[in-house]
């Protein structure tokens, strides 16, 4: 693995473009580690409905960037006091990797700095039972990416006010407010006077070890800027069009929230969209397209979902759980 050092201009849209470029470019075939940060930003999960996840008025008034990422999971708030890490690897036999494969070097580094950080068995890192890091993954062909956030000294008030948190999600965590389940890392360090850049340098030095450092050239930066402009800064990508539906059902499972929206006409499913903070291995349209044109009946829907092997595509969500979101 190599350490990729790059200037992202504090833009999440540019950083996501870097990730995509590195994953697709035949020039970059090794495995890479990156460490970066952004201006205030709401990073939307790949399968989420943006308008339902964020406080648009607060985001607009406070100049908070809104950018959808390629990976699944939930929306996260970041700012210049929150750091992001990315690992780009090669798949082995097309298999995905456990979250722990990537979070361990991060928690080891934090432990070295005095923070008793642990992995919570889904996709979060916690300290004193409070979350300070959300993690997500996605794959493109034989390439695989894992990235996560690290709340170092983030503005927690802005984090809370910029997100719309559903009551069912709060209840599932057994808490009364977001403030009660998130924390910054800074107070838990052996040296709490550590500033943000000192923290960055310490984390990079520990995780990087003896990795070779590589950088981008002008040709790379030009290609990355094109990806950013054509994808990550567009309304179509970050918001998309919201079709009309006459059936919707949302449920939370161990593997995450599934929110199904259907348009059914004359007993036939005409449109289907899936939202949520779940993780999907592959193209979500494989699942949504599988039910288009079939009868809105339990057996028919089950057969369609079984044919595309949704249990393998959706992390820790069974076909029976998914089916329960489609039909009562």
- 2-238: which CATH topology? BirA Bifunctional Protein; domain 2 (3.30.930)
Location of each CATH 3.30.390.50 domain in the chain: 247-326
Location of each CATH 3.30.930.10 domain in the chain: 2-238
Read off the tokens for 34: 């990156």
pLDDT at 236: 86
Strands 247-253 and 256-265: antiparallel
Q: Above 70 in pLDDT, residue 311?
A: yes
Q: Report the distance separating Cα 297 and Cα 313, nearest Å.
A: 22
Average pLDDT over residues 118-131: 88
Contacts 24+ apart (CB under 8 A), 218-224: 220/21, 220/25, 220/27, 223/21, 223/25, 224/14, 224/17, 224/18, 224/21
pLDDT at 205: 97
With beta carbons less than 8 A apart as the criterion, state whether 275 and 259 touch.
Answer: yes
User: CATH top-level class for 247-326?
Assistant: alpha beta
pLDDT at 171: 42
pLDDT at 239: 83
Please name the helix (run of DSSP H) or strand (run of DSSP E) that holds residue 257, with its range, or none.
strand 256-265
CB-based burial, 127-163: b 16+ in 10 Å, e otherwise: beebbbbbbbbbbeeebbbbbbbbbbbbbeebbbbbb
Q: Above 90 in pLDDT, residue 112?
A: yes
Grouping H, G, I as helix, E, B as strand and the rest as coil, residue 183 is coil
* 53 — pLDDT class (breaks 50, 70, 90): confident
Q: Above 80 in pLDDT, residue 156?
A: yes
Grouping H, G, I as helix, E, B as strand and the rest as coil, residue 17 is helix
With beta carbons less than 8 A apart as the criterion, state whether 215 and 121 touch.
Answer: no
Average pLDDT over residues 280-308: 93
């Amino acid at each position: 693995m190599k350490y990729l050092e790059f200037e992202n201009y504090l833009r999440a849209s540019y950083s996501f473009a870097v990730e995509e470029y590195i994953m697709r470019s035949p020039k970059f075939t090794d495995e890479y580690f990156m460490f970066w940060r952004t201006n205030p930003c709401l990073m939307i999960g790949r399968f989420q409905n943006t308008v339902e996840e964020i406080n648009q008025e607060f985001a607009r008034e406070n100049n908070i960037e809104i950018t959808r990422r390629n990976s699944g999971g939930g929306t996260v708030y970041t700012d210049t006091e929150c750091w992001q890490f990315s690992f780009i690897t090669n798949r082995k036999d097309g298999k995905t990797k456990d979250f722990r494969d990537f979070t361990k070097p991060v928690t080891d580094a934090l432990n070295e700095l005095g923070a008793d950080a642990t992995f919570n068995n889904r996709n979060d890192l916690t300290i004193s039972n409070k979350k300070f890091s959300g993690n997500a993954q996605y794959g493109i062909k034989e390439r695989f990416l894992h990235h996560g956030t690290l709340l170092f000294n983030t503005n927690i008030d802005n984090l809370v006010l910029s997100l719309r948190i559903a009551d069912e999600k709060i209840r599932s965590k057994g808490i009364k407010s977001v403030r009660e389940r998130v924390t910054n890392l800074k107070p838990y360090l052996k040296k709490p006077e550590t500033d943000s850049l000192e923290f960055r340098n310490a984390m990079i030095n520990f995780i990087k070890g003896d990795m070779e450092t590589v950088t981008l050239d002008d040709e790379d930066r030009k290609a990355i800027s094109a990806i950013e402009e054509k994808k990550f800064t567009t309304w179509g990508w970050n918001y998309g069009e919201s079709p009309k539906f006459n059936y919707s059902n949302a449920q939370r499972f161990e593997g995450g929230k599934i929110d199904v929206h259907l348009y059914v006409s004359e007993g036939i499913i005409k449109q289907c969209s899936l939202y949520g903070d779940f993780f999907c291995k592959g193209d979500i349209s494989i699942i949504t397209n599988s039910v288009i044109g079939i009868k809105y009946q339990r057996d028919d829907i089950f057969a369609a979902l079984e044919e595309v092997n949704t249990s393998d595509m959706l992390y820790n969500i069974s076909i029976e759980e998914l089916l329960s979101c489609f039909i009562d």
